Amino acid sequence: MNVFLSQQNYHVGNFQLNKDKILGEVERAKNAGADLIVFSELSICGYPARDFLEFEDFIAQCEAAVLEIAAYSNEIGIIVGAPTRNPIKEGKDLFNSALLLYSGKIMGQANKTLLPNYDVFDEYRYFEPAYEWNTVEFKGKRIALTICEDIWNLGDNPLYRICPMDELMKQSPDLMINISASPFDYDHDDDRKEVIRMNVLKYKIPMIYCNAVGSQTEIVFDGGSLVYAASGELKKELKYFEEDRCLISTNDLYNPSPDSSSSASRVGKDMRVAKSTDPAQILDYLTNDHNIDQVKSALVLGVKDYFQKMGFRKAILGSSGGIDSAVALCIAAEALGADNVTAVLMPSQFSSDHSVTDAVALSTTLGTPYHIVPITTIYESFLHSLDPLFANTPFGIAEENIQSRSRGNLLMALANKFGYVLLNTSNKSELATGYGTLYGDMAGGLSILGDLYKSQVIALARFINQQSNSIPEHILIKPPSAELRPNQKDSDSLPEYEVLDRILYLYIERRKGPQEIIQSGFDPSLVMRVLKMVNMNEYKRNQFCPIIRVSTKAFGIGRRMPIVARYLS
């Protein structure tokens, strides 16, 4: 049997586009002599469709699209992902299903059993878990058809009390096919390969694994679809961060030399947190070239898809001469084309000369248009208007934030006037500690760097310079500063980033408590101070834009904290 594996980039709710993409690929597969074509999880409507799934109209459109695609299945089997209706009244009304279309109709169906509901996932909000398991027959092959999480319940500490593949094995399948929407983080490609290999070694049949690709608001699906032979040998790995496809003959997947060695180290619940690392090695782990390289690809795709799918073309951002805005500008220019990214330099009386010269040099190298709009007179007009109320109070946070919010206002005015989207340049260390101004430097429609600690932004800057040398060296070496008061440095308010980022990582990615972090060798009062900063600033992050997610725990929809609370705060 020839199977065509296709990883595509869908647009949530855009039934016409998704259907056209799928049918185009069906045609291609037919021409290639495929018997069966496999698409990813919820390919019909895009993943994640979130609360659109609560609309009867949306589900009806999914059903209509499935039937239209089925009409093209006379000569080829088509496996697509779609929500389907639970035929019984008890339980939730929908399943998350894989459908086998053939001979013009739905010939087989598998419903997802294990519904991820952690981090960015909310599947139990919408779907009833499958409660019966049957293989699907196609051209003499018995297929164990599963959906994403269904194959992840391995090891002796599993997240779910049931293992759907164990159930399916009772019917002696010849082949596993798994359709997924498995997002990127800088550990996840290795985990994915390991899980699939472990399934293959456990069940001793091949696995064809189809992942989605493309960015959906904050979640980047990285593709990298896989084919493993029954022996445990990796036969095919599709590209990462782009659409890709391949044709495989299942005959080639039953080679006789089983490789039963398994390096499985972290499965079960552990797989869902960041890799365990020695505190001394956290920075190396966060900033090594392999991870930074992948992160860069994810960010470029994240920006590109946001604009393309929202129907925007042009971006604007504040370019301060600092490293965050420099890296953000490089990523945006690569994603959208340098012409389409306008940098705005907005110096004040507190700005250093190099804030302008460095930002100009950067835009000149990159070829991004730029404007200089000083904020001095705007800032003074605010102070003047507030003078009756501010009289005899010392310069403080209020005055600093006026500057930052005046810049936000200028950037949004330009965005509104000329149809730009404002890109945000805050990093994860700042967002974690609340070191940023709501409606000021925290403004924007999409955050490029919000899931990168400052140490990672610096590593990404060096990585970019290895490739293109586009960031002026002075931007890389000067001490970070918000330049909102004379001679200000980040280190006046925050611990050094090498220390801060490690504490933050242990707290955010690893969910360690204060005692555990202190026992890793950090100063107790510093640890308590940092955790308090994180927890007290939940209200700021709550109003922040979507962040392109690259870690196992990004701020945003995957981290849901109470705002009104008193815990470590």
Q: Judge contact between 207 and 176, C-beta under 8 A.
A: yes
Binding status of residue 401 toward a copy of itself by CB under 8 A: yes
Give the H or E element holding residue 220. Answer: strand 219-222
**Residues paired with residue 226 on neighbouring β-strands, in sequence order:** 209, 237
Q: Judge contact between 55 and 83, C-beta under 8 A.
A: no
Binding status of residue 20 toward a copy of itself by CB under 8 A: no
The residue within the footprint of a copy of itself, chosen from 4, 39, 52, 133 (CB under 8 A), is 52
Under rule CB under 8 A, which residues in 309-348 are in contact with a copy of itself?
Answer: 309-310
The residue within the footprint of a copy of itself, chosen from 397, 466, 474, 493 (CB under 8 A), is 397
For tokens 């009244």, name the residue.
89
Under rule CB under 8 A, which residues in 464-523 are in contact with a copy of itself?
Answer: 511-516
Under rule CB under 8 A, which residues in 548-567 are in contact with a copy of itself?
Answer: 557, 559-567
Binding status of residue 369 toward a copy of itself by CB under 8 A: no
Under rule CB under 8 A, which residues in 252-281 are in contact with a copy of itself?
Answer: 269
530-555 b/e (C-beta count within 10 Å ≥ 16 → b): bbebbbbbbebbeebbbbbbbbbbbb
Under rule CB under 8 A, which residues in 518-537 are in contact with a copy of itself?
Answer: none
Residue ranges with strand state E in 103-149: 105-111, 136-138, 141-147
Q: Judge contact between 293 and 463, C-beta under 8 A.
A: yes
Number of residues that bind a copy of itself (CB under 8 A): 102
The residue within the footprint of a copy of itself, chosen from 74, 381, 493, 519 (CB under 8 A), is 381
Binding status of residue 54 toward a copy of itself by CB under 8 A: yes
Q: Judge contact between 523 and 279, C-beta under 8 A.
A: no
Closest CB to a copy of itself among 189 and 441? Answer: 441
Q: What is the DSSP string of 151-167?
A: G---SSS-SSS--HHHH
Closest CB to a copy of itself among 255 and 276? Answer: 276
Under rule CB under 8 A, which residues in 215-254 are in contact with a copy of itself?
Answer: 215-217
Least distance (Å) between residue 310 CB and a copy of itself? 6
Q: Segment contacting a copy of itself (CB under 8 A): 53-61, 204-212, 245-253, 329-337?
A: 53-61
Distance spanning both ends of the chain, measured CA to CA: 60
Binding status of residue 23 toward a copy of itself by CB under 8 A: no
Binding status of residue 55 toward a copy of itself by CB under 8 A: yes
Amino acid present at 457: V
Vertex 63: Cα angle to 62 and 66 (nearest 5): 90
Give the H or E element holding residue 483. Answer: none
Structure token digits, residue 219: 């979640």
Under rule CB under 8 A, which residues in 445-464 are in contact with a copy of itself?
Answer: 445
The residue within the footprint of a copy of itself, chosen from 546, 548, 550, 551 (CB under 8 A), is 546
Minimal CA–CA distance to 307: which of 265, 284, 337?
337
CA separation for the pair 143, 176 (Å, rounded): 6
Using CB atoms within 10 A of its CB, is residue 375 exposed (0-12), middle (13-18) or buried (19+)? buried
Binding status of residue 102 toward a copy of itself by CB under 8 A: no
For tokens 């589900």, name the residue.
59
480: Cα within 13 Å, side-chain hemisphere: 22
Calculate the CA 34 to chain-centre distance. Answer: 32
- Give the dihedral sign, CA 78/81/86/90: positive
Give the H or E element holding residue 384. Answer: helix 376-390
Closest CB to a copy of itself among 100 and 402? Answer: 402
Binding status of residue 46 toward a copy of itself by CB under 8 A: yes
Q: Segment contacting a copy of itself (CB under 8 A): 6-14, 204-212, 254-262, 347-355?
A: 6-14
The residue within the footprint of a copy of itself, chosen from 156, 353, 392, 477 (CB under 8 A), is 156
Minimal CA–CA distance to 263: which of 184, 201, 185, 175?
201
Closest CB to a copy of itself among 91 and 104? Answer: 91
Binding status of residue 105 toward a copy of itself by CB under 8 A: no
Q: Segment contacting a copy of itself (CB under 8 A): 135-143, 202-210, 396-404, 458-466?
A: 396-404
Binding status of residue 290 toward a copy of itself by CB under 8 A: no
The residue within the footprint of a copy of itself, chosen from 102, 184, 382, 522 (CB under 8 A), is 382
CA separation for the pair 30, 503 (Å, rounded): 54
Least distance (Å) between residue 406 CB and a copy of itself? 7
The torsion angle over the Cα atoms of residues 362, 366, 370 and 376, rounded to 10 degrees, is -20
Closest CB to a copy of itself among 40 and 406? Answer: 406
- 405 to 444: interface string for a copy of itself, x by CB under 8 A: xx-xxx-xxx-xx--------------------xx---x-
Closest CB to a copy of itself among 280 and 398? Answer: 398
The residue within the footprint of a copy of itself, chosen from 393, 469, 491, 493 (CB under 8 A), is 393
The residue within the footprint of a copy of itself, chosen from 545, 547, 548, 550 (CB under 8 A), is 545
Residues noted as catalytic: 41, 112, 148
Under rule CB under 8 A, which residues in 157-196 are in contact with a copy of itself?
Answer: 157-161
Closest CB to a copy of itself among 454 and 510? Answer: 510
Reduced to 3 states (helix: H, G, I; strand: E, B; else coil), residue 236 is: strand
Closest CB to a copy of itself among 496 and 516? Answer: 516
Please state, as a whole number, how many other Cβ atoms lie within 10 Å of the Cβ of residue 9. Answer: 22
Give the H or E element holding residue 537. Answer: none
Least distance (Å) between residue 457 CB and a copy of itself? 22
Least distance (Å) between residue 1 CB and a copy of itself? 35
Closest CB to a copy of itself among 290 and 560? Answer: 560
Q: Judge contact between 148 and 188, C-beta under 8 A.
A: no
Binding status of residue 539 toward a copy of itself by CB under 8 A: yes
The residue within the footprint of a copy of itself, chosen from 402, 448, 500, 548 (CB under 8 A), is 402
